[in-house]
Amino acid sequence: MDLHELPYRLKSARQKRRLVKKDRDKQLIELDRLQTSLLEQKRQLPMIPLEHPYQKGWKRIFVLRQDVRQSEKAMFYQAILDKINTVEYNKDISFKKRKRRKQRYHYEEQPQTLRPIYDNDWQSDKLKFTEAEKECFYRNEEWSASRSKIIVTYLFNDSWRFVLAVKPHIIYEAKMVDEQLEQELKAIDNKIARYYLWPKITKINKGNCYKYWKIIPFEQPKYVNKLKNQPRYTNKEAYLD
């Protein structure tokens, strides 16, 4: 009997391999979606107050200086500080980091600065600054070599009004733990790690994960050659323009 005379179509070997590959990709997509859903459930678990709070290292934050705290504008500067304050955590009260220099170890103090306000947050008024508070900031433009463009930020004028203070980092609450949820996440992580599925999942979701980016040397604005992309047959007037 001729295969073309059958009432149904037989799949070729290539079509069968393609269906197997497609089904495998669907399984990986479902596995990734399940993991994302479980992680979202874990993130939404509430915080539970601890019966016995405990100290976990130290934290360093900015506070108002003594003379500023006693001035008439203490509330004004405190409102600004609440929006641009930063917190650093360390297990040591000295906040020094161990570094190696010339085959020897020494300790250096970690720097800490106020939060810079990026141009997007400034224009969208994300932090809800008042007009009086905006007058206390200045515009700063800095060339970023890694991003090959100028980064615009707004910095606080009178940073001397704030000083660093070290306080104990006390833990008063902890995240609720769901054992069933943790077991399911652990099983998914073990499966992905055992069969090394992350490259394939990343490729399915976001395209090729093994991209070798072409390194293009950036040019600062003052060093840009305006004649670089001009053809040789362009006349003199085009060069002058």
Residue 135 belongs to some domain of the structure: no
- Is residue 219 scored above 60 in pLDDT? no
Q: What is the tens place of the pLDDT at every residue in 123-166? A: 988 889 999 999 999 999 999 888 888 999 999 999 999 999 99
State the Cα–Cα distance between residues 105 and 167, nearest whole angstrom.
27
Residue 41 lies in a domain: yes
Handedness of CA 158, 160, 162, 166 (dihedral sign): positive
Mean pLDDT of 31-54: 95
What pLDDT sits at residue 223? Answer: 55
Is 113 within the bounds of a domain? no
Residue range 233-241: mean pLDDT, rounded: 59
Query: Across residues 91-104, what is the average pLDDT?
Result: 81
Identify the CA nearest to 174 among candidates 56, 41, 58, 49.
49
Residue 26 belongs to some domain of the structure: yes
Better-predicted residue by pLDDT, 18 or 2 = 18
Please check whether residue 138 lies inside any domain of the structure. no
Least confident range from 27-41, 184-198, 200-214: namely: 200-214
- Note whether residue 88 is domain-resident: no
Mean pLDDT of the chain: 85
pTM summary value:
0.65
- What domain range is 31 assigned to? 12-45+177-210
- Kindly state whether residue 120 falls inside one of the protein's structural domains: no
In a domain, 37, yes or no: yes
Provide the edge-to-edge strand list for the sheet that holds 137-144: 117-118, 149-156, 137-144
pLDDT at position 2 is 55
Please classify residue 80 by burial: count the beta carbons closer than 10 Å to its beta carbon, then call 0-12 exposed, 13-18 middle and 19+ buried: buried
**97-101, 180-184, 217-221, 233-237, range with the lowest pLDDT:** 217-221
Identify the pLDDT of residue 217. Answer: 46
Count of structural domains within the chain: 1
